[in-house]
Amino acid sequence: MTRTARLMDGSALARRIVEQAAERAADLTRRTGTSPCLATVLVGDDPASVTYVRMKRARCEKAGIRSRHVALPANTTTAELVGTITALSNDPDVHGILLQHPAGPHIDERAAFEAIAPEKDVDGVTCHSFAAMSFGLDGFASCTPGGILRLLDHYDVDLAGKHAVVVGRSAILGKPVGMLLLARNATVTYCHSRTTDLASITQDADVLVAAVGRPRFLRGEHLKPGAVVIDAGSNPGNVGDVDFDSACTRASLITPVPGGVGPMTIATLLTQTVGAASVQMTAG
Ligand SMILES: Nc1nc2c(c(=O)[nH]1)N[C@@H](CN(C=O)c1ccc(C(=O)N[C@@H](CCC(=O)O)C(=O)O)cc1)CN2
C-alpha cells in the first residue's frame, strides 16, 4: 500500500507558538516587574500524568512563565482538592490553574474543575469556558481542541460545509472540539461507545477527530479517501487512537503521534496563561 498522506507537524507549529508566548511573557514581565504564573495541580502519581505535568512546567520555564506545583496524595478527597483550587483561585500571584486529568476515580472532577476561577481557567475546563466557547464569546478554549483548530487553520483546512466526525465525547476533548468545528460551519457528528455501525459514519467524514482513548482504534478502512485525520489519542507508549500506517494510505492530511496534537495542547496552555496574566496584571 502506498502512503499518500501529508503530515501535520504539530511540534514545529507548537514551537513557534511557544516562542510567541515567550515574547509576550517577557514583555509583560518588563512592564509589570512580575512574570506570569501557572499553578499545576496533580493528584496521585499516575506516570502519564506526572510526565504531562513535568512537560508543561518545563515548557513554562523555557517561555519565562513561572509554575507553582501542588502535588497532592492519591487519597486526597474532593473537598480537600476543591479547597486547594479555591485558594489558588483567590491568590493574586497565580494567573492560571491547571488540574491534571484524571484526578482519580474517587474524585468529583467536575466539582474540582468548577473551583477554578473563570479568569484563571487557562485549561478551558469549566462550564463557564465551555459555554463561552460554544456561544463564540471571549473565554479560554479547552487546550487540546483549541490546539487542533489552530493546526487545521495552519494547514488551510476549510471546514465550512465539511462533514466533521468526532469519535469520543469527553468533557475536555470530544465535546468541545465538536463545538469549535460547528462554530466554523462544519456539519458535526459525534460518535461514541454506543454508536452502531461506526465505520459507515467515519467513512463519510471529510475531517475525522479520533478522541476515543483506545490505541490504534481507527484504521484505514474507517476512512473516506482524502480525509483529514486528527489523532488526539495519547495512549501508553506514545500510541495514538489511529492506526497510522493504514490511515496514511487513505488520508490526505494526518497528525502523527507523537508530534501532532500533543505539543499543540501545551502550546495552547502557555498562550492562554500569558493571555490570562496579561488581563489580570494590567487590569484596573
Ligand atoms: N487538565 C488536563 N488534563 C489532560 C489534558 C488536558 O488538556 N488538560 N490532556 C491530556 C494529556 N495531555 C495533557 O495533559 C497531553 C498529552 C500528550 C502531550 C504530548 O505532547 N505528547 C507528546 C509525546 C509525549 C512524550 O514525548 O513523552 C506528543 O504527542 O508529541 C501533551 C499533553 C490528558 N489530561
| 8-state DSSP, 187 | E
- Which residues, 6+ apart, have CB-to-CB distance to 217 below 8 Å? 167, 210, 233, 241, 242, 243
The whole-angstrom separation of Cα 161 and Cα 130 is 23
Determine whether the annotation assigns residue 35 to a binding site.
no
Q: What's the whole-number average pLDDT of the chain?
A: 97
Q: Whose CA is nearest to atom 12 of ligand 1?
A: 52
Residue that has been written with the C-alpha cell 457528528 in this structure: 189
The pLDDT of residue 4 is: 86
Tell me the backbone φ, ψ of residue 132, rounded to 5 degrees: -60, -45
What pLDDT sits at residue 185? 97
Instruction: Give the pLDDT of residue 283.
Output: 78
Residue 169: pLDDT over 80: yes
Any atom of ligand 1 within 6 Å of the Cβ of 101: yes
Q: What is the pLDDT of residue 284?
A: 57
What average pLDDT does the segment 8-35 reach?
98
Query: In a 3-state reduction of DSSP, which class is residue 79?
Result: helix
CA of 152 to the centre of ligand 1 (A): 18
The model's confidence at residue 164, banded by pLDDT at 50, 70 and 90, is: very high
Q: How far does residue 107's CA lie from ligand 1's centre (Å)?
A: 20
If 0-12 CB within 10 Å is exposed, 13-18 middle and 19+ buried, where does residue 1 land?
exposed
Edge-first strand listing for the sheet containing 163-167: 6-7, 253-254, 228-231, 207-210, 163-167, 187-191
Q: Is the peptide bond before 102 cis (omega within 30 degrees of 0)?
A: yes
Protein residue with least CA distance to atom 21, ligand 1 = 262
Q: With a cut of 70, say whether residue 243 has pLDDT above it.
A: yes
Q: What pLDDT band is residue 2 in, cutting at 50, 70 and 90?
A: confident
What are the structural domains of the chain?
A: 34-117 (3.40.50.10860), 143-261 (3.40.50.720)
Give yes or no for a contact between 74 and 44, defined as CB atoms under 8 angstroms apart: yes
Q: Tell how strand 96-99 and strand 253-254 pair up.
A: unpaired
| pLDDT score at 247 | 98
> Is the minimum distance from the CB of 99 to ligand 1 under 6 angstroms?
yes
Contact 185 CB / ligand 1 (< 6 Å): no
Residue 282 has pLDDT above 80, yes or no: yes
Q: Contact, 43 vs 107, CB < 8 A?
A: yes
Distance in angstroms (rounded) separating the CA atoms of residues 2 and 199: 22
pLDDT for 113-138, tens place per residue?
999 999 999 999 999 999 999 999 99
